[in-house]
A = this chain, B = another copy of it.
Amino acid sequence: MNALLTDLYELTMGAAYFEAGKTAERAVFELGVRRLPPRRNFVLAAGLPQVVDYLLNLSFAADEIAYLRGLPQFQHISPAFFDYLRDFRFTGDLFAVPEGTPLFAGEPMLMLRAPIIEAQIPETYLLSALSFQSLIATKAARCAGVAGGRPVVEFGTRRAHTPEAGVLGARAAYLGGCAGSSNTLAGFRYGVPVMGTVAHSWVMSFSGESEAFRQIQRILGESAIQLLDTYDTIQGARHAAKTQGPFWGVRLDSGDYKTLARQVRTILDEGGHKDAKIMVSGDLEEYRIRDLLADGTPIDAFGVGTQLSISADAPSLSTVYKLVEIEICGIQRFTAKYSDDKPSYPGSKQIFRDTNRDVIARCGECGRGEALLRPIILGGRLIEPLPTLEQARQRAAESIAKLPDSLRQLEEAEPWPVIHSRELRELTERTRRNLLG
C-alpha cells in the first residue's frame, strides 16, 4: 500500500541496490531542515503519525509490481527483484523528534535505519508529509502567537493543495496553536475542534437579509454567527442587532476592519447584544492580526484561510533526506555530500536541547538536556502509541513558551545557538578526508 507514492528513482535505485548485491547493507538516512523559511525563528515538527502509518503499511500490491515490471526503466532488472517486492515491508528503525518540538536550521527531524532499499523508498513520502504539516503548524503558531489568546480558527481548506491537504493542514494548524478548524473531516478523523459560521449563499438564499439572520438564529441558536457583508456591512450589523434571542456573534469578511469593527461593536452594543462577538476573516495572516490588535480594534476571534493553509509567505520547507551512514557486513562507513557550500555531517545523531542551546552530537554520546530524537519504530514495530494530537499541541505551546522572547517574534531574530559536538566535528573531518582523499 502506498509504496508507489514515491519518486521513480527511489524504486529504480531500489532495483539497482538489489542488483548490486546491497540488499543486506543497512543505511541510516536523516531528514532535516536545511534552512528556516524566511522570517521564521523555528519550525514546529509535525506529521509524525502520518509517517508512522505509512511505514507500518508500506507494501506493494500485485498490480503495482506488474506496473513497475512493464516500465522501460525496469527492463534489465531480474525477476528476483519483483519477487522481493512482493514481500517487501519496512523492518527497520525510526527515530524522531516528537511532534510539537521547535527545530532550528540544520537539525534532523527524524532518522531511519534499515536495509538500504527499505530506507530509500520512503524518502519522497516522508519529505512531503513532514514538511507540509511542519510548515502549517509553524504558521499557525505565528498567527496564534500574536492573537493574544483570542481564538484563531483555520478556514483554508478551499485553498489547500487538494482537499486532503486541507484535512492534514487543519490537523497541523490545531497542533500549532489554532483553536480549531472549519474542516469537518479533521474533526471526525483527528478530533480537531470544528467551527464555522455561514456563507454569503445563506444570506442570498433569502429575499431579505433580516429574514436570513432571523432564521439562522432560530435554527442554530447560541452558536449562530451572522455574516454581515453580503450587501453592506453596516446595514448588515443593524439587521443583526435586531435579531431576537442569543447568537454567538457576527463575522466581518471584507472592508476596512479597523473602522468597521468599531462601528459594528457600537451597533451591537446599542442593540442590546453586548455579548455578541466579532469575528474577522478574509486575507488575514499574522502581521495583519498584530496590526489590527495594536490599534485596539474590538475583535474577538479570527478566521484565517489561504495564508495559513498553504503557508502562503513560505509555501515550502527546505528539508533534505541524507544518507549519513552505511553498514556493510558489520562495518560502518560514514557518508556525506560535499558539493554544496554547507557542511554535511555524517553518521547517526542525537540532539540535546539544553536551557540555552542545542548540541547536535553523535548517536551514543552523552549530553545535557533533553534528547530530542526518540525511538518510535524498532524492527518494523511501533514501540508505544504516539502522543495524542492534544499532547502534541500542548508540547508545542509549552516548548514555544520556553523559547527566548526574540524567537517568538514575527521578525527574524538572532538564531537559537545550535552547535556540533567535538566528536561529531571530528567524524566529519575524518569522513571528508577519506572521501576526498
Contact assessment for A198 and B16 in the assembled complex, using a CB-CB cutoff below 8 Å: yes
Interface string of A190-209 (1 = CB under 8 A from B): 00001111111110110100
For residue A279, give the distance in angstroms from its CB to the closest CB of chain B.
12
Q: A196 — which chain B residues lie within 8 A by C-beta?
A: 7-9, 11-12, 73
When C-beta atoms are compared, the residue in chain B nearest to A335 turns out to be B204
Report if A166 contacts B (CB, 8 A): yes
When C-beta atoms are compared, the residue in chain B nearest to A323 turns out to be B201
Report how far A328 CA is from B341 CA in the complex, Å. 68
Q: Which of A224-232, A285-293, A386-394 lines the interface with chain B?
A: A224-232
Report how far A420 CA is from B46 CA in the complex, Å. 48
Contact assessment for B326 and A185 in the assembled complex, using a CB-CB cutoff below 8 Å: no
Q: Which of A215-223, A270-278, A404-412 lines the interface with chain B?
A: A215-223
Of B7, B76, B128, B323, which is within 8 A of A219 by CB?
B76
Report how far A198 CA is from B157 CA in the complex, Å. 35
What's the number of copies of this chain in the assembled complex? Answer: 2
Report how far A232 CA is from B267 CA in the complex, Å. 69
Of B11, B20, B131, which is within 8 A of A158 by CB?
B131
With A77-B219, A184-B6, A188-B64 already in contact, the answer to whether A165 and B158 are too (CB < 8 A) is no
Residues of chain A at interface, number, CB under 8 A: 104
Q: A159 — which chain B residues lie within 8 A by C-beta?
A: 127-128, 131, 316
Q: A315 — which chain B residues lie within 8 A by C-beta?
A: 161, 310, 312, 315
For residue A240, give the distance in angstroms from its CB to the closest CB of chain B.
14
Q: A221 — which chain B residues lie within 8 A by C-beta?
A: 75-76
Report how far A312 CA is from B317 CA in the complex, Å. 11
Q: Which A residues, 67 to 82, have Cβ-Cβ distances below 8 Å to chain B?
A: 67-68, 71-73, 75-77
With A16-B220, A19-B219 already in contact, the answer to whether A195 and B5 are too (CB < 8 A) is no
Report how far A194 CA is from B4 CA in the complex, Å. 11
Report if A428 contacts B (CB, 8 A): no
Of B160, B165, B201, B220, which is within 8 A of A12 by CB?
B220
When C-beta atoms are compared, the residue in chain B nearest to A63 turns out to be B188
Report if A302 contacts B (CB, 8 A): no
Q: A216 — which chain B residues lie within 8 A by C-beta?
A: 16
Q: A199 — which chain B residues lie within 8 A by C-beta?
A: 9-10, 13, 120, 123
Interchain residue pairs with CB less than 8 A apart (25): A5-B163, A5-B183, A7-B158, A8-B184, A13-B198, A13-B199, A15-B220, A16-B202, A17-B202, A64-B188, A71-B194, A123-B199, A124-B157, A128-B165, A128-B166, A131-B158, A132-B161, A132-B162, A159-B316, A161-B169, A201-B322, A204-B336, A229-B339, A230-B337, A310-B316
Top 5 nearest A-B pairs (CB, nearest first) are A8-B196, A9-B196, A161-B161, A127-B158, A201-B323
